[in-house]
Amino acid sequence: MATVASEAAASGTPGASRLLEVRDLHVEFRTRDGVARAVNGVDYSVDAGETLAVLGESGSGKSVTAQAVMGILDTPPGKITSGEILFQGRDLLKLKEDERRKVRGAGMAMIFQDALSSLNPVLSVGEQLGEMYVVHKGMSRKDAKAKAVELMDRVRIPAARERVGQYPHQFSGGMRQRIMIAMAMALEPSLIIADEPTTALDVTVQAQVMDLLAELQREMNMGLILITHDLGVVADVADTIAVMYAGRIVERAPVHEIYRAPAHPYTRGLLESIPRLDQKGQELYAIKGLPPNLMNIPPGCAFHPRCPMAQDVCRTDEPPLARVTYEGLTAERRSACHFWKETLDASR
């Protein structure tokens, strides 16, 4: 079991330094209505300097997996029932809470969608940015304020020195999201998890914020997990894509390979539902039906009720996240579909 999981978790560039490895992670939510199986054996990894994009429809377990990695899962009702989360080689699930907190402060940081509710409305942005240095580095308030200005410059907030005393509501949505990025970067973490960091912004601002994040990540050689609904957004920035469905990774591959030809019908559905400028007016392909109820996930492949390629075996046997091979493919690529070969052929 462990060997299968760790083999499945391996990906990325050989020899690069592995930052994070999630192995066979399971998370449940016990609620009054029953047990929701939100994460059902997730395997993924991130290397230094790598961007992993995690895609999937609403409710597929993207955020819950990230919360488990960050150690901010809503517990109860949430519970990690099994798995490992190795960060720089240490299993975070075996650390005591105070050790865990240290990792969370210095080693990894998270950026959320909604900056306004993540920032404190009654403290100036300078105080909030500076606080990171006061608490974690024991800096004086004066030095911390200078650092805050430096950070605001770094995320290209114009007139940082003048604006450091302003409050979150005095900034536009895009600028607030830059402040969130600055907070996450403050302690120069090795890993950033960005959960839909641009979803609340309008399209042009989205691109600017995304570019900034990608640039800082490159400069600092950080690992980045980018959670998003939007396959269009990840094309330029991601190295690897992991597609989630009903709490599992159903496909994982280098980004250009996935765009060339998906090896899972669900990925294919997602790709074909991106609006394209050259097909204006044409009806968008949409995946039929709805994601499953996590209290009652279908047997076999969870996607089978919606899958145009489903056969009998799909209704009974859960497909493993198997290795995909073809000529010219050197990186590791995986698909949890009994018919990955046929899917690849159909989409080429």
Ligand X SMILES: Nc1ncnc2c1ncn2[C@@H]1O[C@H](COP(=O)(O)OP(=O)(O)OP(=O)(O)O)[C@@H](O)[C@H]1O
Interface residues toward ligand X, by CB under 6 A: 29, 31, 36, 38, 56, 58-64, 74, 77, 229, 294
- Is residue 46 within a helix (H) or strand (E), and if so which, with residue range? strand 34-47
> Any contact of residue 67 with Mg ion (CB under 5 A)?
no
Judged by CB under 5 A, the stretch of 4-12, 59-67, 211-219, 237-245 that binds Mg ion is 59-67
The CA-atom distances, in angstroms, between 292 and each of 98, 275, 298, 299, 319 are: 37, 25, 7, 11, 17
By CB atoms closer than 10 A (0-12, 13-18, 19+), residue 235 is middle
63 makes contact with Mg ion (CB under 5 A): yes
**228 binds Mg ion, rule: CB under 5 A:** no
Please, what is the minimum distance in Å from the beta carbon of residue 110 to Mg ion?
Answer: 12
User: Residue 51's beta-bridge partner residues?
Assistant: 224
By rule CB under 5 A, what count of residues binds Mg ion? 1
Q: Which does 74 bind (CB under 5 to 8 A by kind): Mg ion, ligand X, none?
A: ligand X
Strands of the 90-91 sheet, one edge to the other? 34-47, 18-31, 78-87, 90-91
The size of the chain, in residues, is 348
**Nearest residue (CB) to Mg ion, 63 versus 206:** 63
Copy the structure tokens of residue 80.
Answer: 């990690």
Return the one option of Mg ion, ligand X, none that residue 58 interacts with (CB less than 5 to 8 A, by type): ligand X
Site map (CB under 5 A) of Mg ion, residues 133-172, x = contact: ----------------------------------------
Token pair, residue 162, equals 């003048």
Q: Please identify, using beta-carbon distances, which residue of 59 and 262 lies nearer to ligand X.
A: 59
What is the token pair recorded at 300? 């076999």
Is 31 or 120 the residue whose CB approaches ligand X more closely?
31
b vs e for 314-337, b when ≥16 Cβ sit within 10 Å of the residue's Cβ?
A: beeebbebeebeeeeeeebbbbbb
Residue 64 Cβ vs Mg ion, minimum distance, rounded to whole Å: 8
> How is residue 69 written in tokens?
């990695």
Q: Choose one: 58-66, 75-83, 180-188, 317-325; the region binding Mg ion (CB under 5 A).
A: 58-66
User: Considering the complex, what minimum distance in angstroms separates the CB of residue 233 from ligand X?
Assistant: 13
User: Least distance (Å) from ligand X to the CB of residue 228?
Assistant: 8
Q: Which residues bind Mg ion (CB under 5 A)?
A: 63
